[in-house]
Structures are given as structure tokens and as C-alpha cells.
Amino acid sequence: MGIDRIFGYGSLIWKPPPFVTGRVPCYVKGYTRRFAQLSHDHRGTPENPGLVVTLVPNSEWLKLAGAETYPCSYVWGVMYTIEPSHTGEVKRYLDEREKDGYELMEVDVFVVEDGQERWYGKSSIYVGHTTNPSFCRPPTHDQLAAQIYRSVGPSGPNKEYLYHLKREVEALCPDANDPYLRDLECLVKQLDQVSHS
């Protein structure tokens, strides 16, 4: 069984899988996007893991984090349509790329057309559940920023992942602005400035 549609909310936004035939900015409901997944293989190392984003059901995140500083009922990303003859190949590619604690599931995706919400269909999605060994319980925002600032892996500095993600999300549409990413980027850039002063 292959993947004919995949919703990307992290690096898939700017690094799509192969054999894409369509790209649609859209969002999912009932989830929170957070830097809560340890990255031992891309933005960190086994000794010094970085952090990348995952989606957590809102109710589950509130139990873990307590009061939510950045309440949001939806997460913007992109949905890719895959060439039918390559769905199996793309699934194998994504299974390898998202192997560090992520599981494949299906979600409803929505778009905005003429100012109105419209259900767009079902899509596959990779999510790092809170029970997976790479899930990181929410630290303080300052601790989160410090870990992202200092972590580097085979795919590059962890901070570049954050900067890229924030920029790409904001470029999706005017409604896609994410205060959580904005404030986290601000904290990491402050650490950058201090180290270079």
C-alpha cells in the first residue's frame, strides 16, 4: 500500500517527497504543532539530539503542558498529491525519512476558498505520538530555545530548521501566521546575537 496524498507540517513544506503532481496549502484541525520530537538523525546526534516539530492532539497537549500559551485549533501546512504509479516508492522514501519515532495516520484537511472553509479530503500524515521514545515532554520556552540553538546534525543546525519552518509557514497564506514559531525564533535569534557580541 502506498501514499497518494501526504500532509506536511514541518520540513516537508519546503523539502517535498519525489513524484509530486500537486501542492495545496491547507490545514488540519484539533492538533497543536510543537517542537516536541527529539531528532537524533537530522538536526542533532544521538549524544546531543535536536528538536523538530510533531503534531499532538490538543487535548493531549493540554494534559502535558498545562495552560496553553499559544492556543490554536488548526495547523497550517501543505498537502502533496503523489503520482499514482509511484505511491509505494514514496511511502518507502517517507518511512525512511520519518523513521525517528513517527507513525503514519490519516487526517481530514481543509482549505479556505473565497473566505470560506472547505473540507478538501483525507490525507496521510506522519505524527510522533507522545508514547514514542523520541517524544520530548514540554520544557520551558527558554530551555527549548537553548536546545534548538546549540544542536547540529547531519541535516544542519537545528536553528536553521526553525527559521526555515517559520518563514515557510508564514508564506503559505495570511492566516497561517504562527505566534509560537515567531516567539521561539525571536528567543533563538537573541541567543545568536549574544554569542556574537
By annotation, the residues acting in catalysis are: 98
**Distances from the Cα of 195 to the Cαs of 50, 146, 150, 164, in angstroms?**
19, 12, 11, 21
What is the distance between the alpha carbons of residues 132 and 136, in angstroms, rounded to a whole number?
Answer: 9
Ramachandran area for residue 62 (φ above 0: left; ψ -120 to 50: alpha; else beta): alpha
For 37, other C-beta atoms within 10 Å of its C-beta total 26
Ramachandran area for residue 190 (φ above 0: left; ψ -120 to 50: alpha; else beta): alpha
